[in-house]
Each structure stands twice: as structure tokens, then as C-alpha cells.
Amino acid sequence: MGILEKISEIEKEISRTQKNKATEYHLGLLKAKLAKYRAQLLEPTKSAGSKGEGFDVMKSGDARVALIGFPSVGKSTFLSLMTSTASEAASYEFTTLTCIPGVIEHKGANIQLLDLPGIIEGAAQGKGRGRQVIAVARTADVVIMMLDATKGDVQRNLLEKELESVGIRLNKPKPNIYFKPKKGGGISFNSTVTLTQCSEKLVQLILHEYKIFNAEVLFREDASPDQFIDVVVGNRVHMPCLYVYNKIDQISLEEVDRLARQLHSVVISCEMKLNLDYLLDKLWDYLALICIYTKKRGERPDFSGAIIMRRSASVEHVCHRIHRTLASQFKYALVWGTSTKYSPQRVGLTHIMEHEDVIQIVKK
């Protein structure tokens, strides 16, 4: 029996099994087996077959955004509108057959946007170059999921399921579980909260499925068996995702209102260029980028070239960005902006910068 058959057998078994107190161990074991087989499916086979062509795109700019969606939802049109790159767009499916990169310039930052080929159902199993598309999506900072507004929530649910099965967790925080395999001493299990979904026996069963017999486990939140399996496997990617509904010019106002009020959702129309500026601002928030300006002593701040950093970056990070030896020669910095109590404030290396702060660094 192949891996795909085993996976479908386990999925059928899970859907058949009633969820109650008596079957939780059985379900936990099935979920652990399912995660194990899916991981095997994603690993490249050892046989020396001809090497498939991947979408190897060099990372550039301050952040990377992947465009994912079913064929013919407007990904290429969106790329052509937002960047100076022209991606072939037509009204038939699978117009784009490889990864096309473009650059969005917004608030002084260069954001790399990747137009990926359309995903079809079963992409996680490798259908329609699905594996390469998903592999590129794992390297992005934010995923933009392009959806057809005329199709409702059908596409969203299918895509979420595909990405979930290859270990991409969208808009979910990492489980607060401490897990460390050891050389000996058995499994030590503790929790700082009352657990309603997992128990010590279930944790042991899941670990035994992965041939782990000595480990330290500490639950700091009431996590589900799925979340614990994610921690054990350890190759899950948690990333923010924006659900972008295109073609809103073809649906009713009530439907537009319903879609726009959903969490992490933005409604746009590439055809009529509606709401694209709001989408850019939302994308900026999700990327958690900030602009920092520099100032020389006795001169006005340089507002032409901003340093783009991640949110919660410290003065030390800014020093490293300017020059790698600057932090070792650092004496103090003067900062103007919202991160200070008064302007200018004299700060050290650990001071956290905020958006549009101005910094002047004084060396020893």
C-alpha cells in the first residue's frame, strides 16, 4: 500500500470515528500517524530520477510575499498592477506556469511579490506542480491568498486544507509547549494550566508513535493533540496570511460587506482598481515593517533614504544594518520619535525603535 493510500485510509478512519472521551487516544494516534505519512510524502524520494525543475527565486528586498490561489483568480493581473513587472494574464486557466517575481515599492521599502502558478485540489500530493508552489510559499514572510469573490468561501477552505496538510499554519501562533528529547530518564510530563484536550497518556502514545521514549514535555497552554504533534515534528511554518477577494465588481453589495467583515480579509477588484491602496497598507501591517531615519550631528534628518527594519527592532539592530562594526564602537544614541519619553532622548543599545523614529549615533 502506497503512502497516498495509507493517508486516505487514515482520513476515512478519522471521519468515521466519533469524538468522545473513549476514542480520544485512538484519534490522537491516528493524527500522529497521519502527520508522519504526510511528512514522508513531502520528503524527496531517494531514487536517482531526473531532477524536477523548481522555482528557485533569489530573495531580494526587505520582505517577501507569496501570491497563492486557484487558477484564473487574478494573481497575474494583481502583480502587473502593483509592480512594474508584466506577468502574462489571460482569461484561461494556467496562464502562469512558473514563478514570476516583482517588486512593490511602498513607504520606501522594496517588497518582493511572487506570482506563483495556480494551485489545484490535491496540490499537497504533488498535483499540478503543487509541491514546488508550496515550497516557495514556505519561504515567504506573508502569504496573500487570492480568492474569487464569486465563489464564496469554497476556495478559501480548500486552500487552507492544502496548506495545512503540508505544515503551513496560517494566522495561528506557535503552540506554547516546551518539548526537548533526552538521552534517558523516560518521559517527564508537566503542565502549568488545566488540560482539557490532552492527557499524559495521549502525549506518551503520540511520542511512542515517533519512536521517542525519553523527553521533557511542559504544556503552558491548553493545546490540542494536533498542536502537540506540530511541536514534536518541529518543521511547521507559522505565518500571517491575507485573504484577498478579487472580482468584487461581479457580486452584490451585501456579499462584499460580508466578505470584508471576515477576519484577515480584504476585498478588491483588479479590473476596476478598487481598494488596492488599502490592501497595501494592510500588507505593511502584516509584514510588521518600520521605517527609521538617520541624522548626522548638526544636520537635518535624512528623510530620503529610510532604513527598513522589523517591528520591535532595537538600536543594536539598526547599528548592524548601517555597518557591522558600528555596534562595537557605539557610545550612545539620540532618538527623536514615539519610542521616547522626550525628544531627543539619550538611549543605549537595547532601546526598542518605533515607526518613523529618527536616530543619531555617537561613537566612542
What's the pLDDT score for residue 115?
Answer: 80
Contacts of 277-284 with C-beta under 8 Å, sequence gap 24+, read 279/242, 279/244, 280/82, 280/104, 280/106, 282/242, 283/65, 283/106, 283/111, 283/142, 283/144, 283/242, 284/106, 284/107, 284/109
DSSP symbol at 48: -
Strands 241-246 and 265-267: parallel
Helices 225-233/24-42 angle, 10° precision: 30
Q: Which residue, 128, 112, 118, is CA-closest to 96?
A: 118
Cα angle 189-7-29, degrees, rounded to a multiple of 5:
20
What's the pLDDT score for residue 4?
Answer: 76
Instruction: Tell me the β-bridge partners of 102.
Output: 113
C-alpha cell read off for 223: 493545546
CA–CA distance, 239 with 285 (Å, rounded to integer)? 13
CA–CA distance, 317 with 91 (Å, rounded to integer)? 46
pLDDT tens digits for range 61-79: 888 888 888 887 888 788 8
pLDDT in tens, the chain (364 residues): 677 778 888 888 888 887 776 677 788 888 888 888 777 766 655 544 444 555 667 777 888 888 888 887 888 788 888 877 766 665 555 655 677 788 888 888 888 888 877 666 565 555 656 667 777 778 889 999 888 888 878 888 888 888 887 788 889 889 999 999 999 888 899 999 998 888 888 888 889 888 889 999 999 999 888 889 889 888 888 889 999 998 888 889 998 899 889 899 999 888 888 888 898 999 999 998 999 999 998 889 888 888 999 888 999 999 998 888 888 999 999 999 999 998 889 999 999 999 999 999 998 8
pLDDT tens digits for range 155-175: 888 888 888 877 888 898 899
Structural domains of the chain in order of their starting residue, each with its CATH number: 63-87+97-171+237-286 (3.40.50.300), 176-222 (no CATH), 289-363 (3.10.20.30)
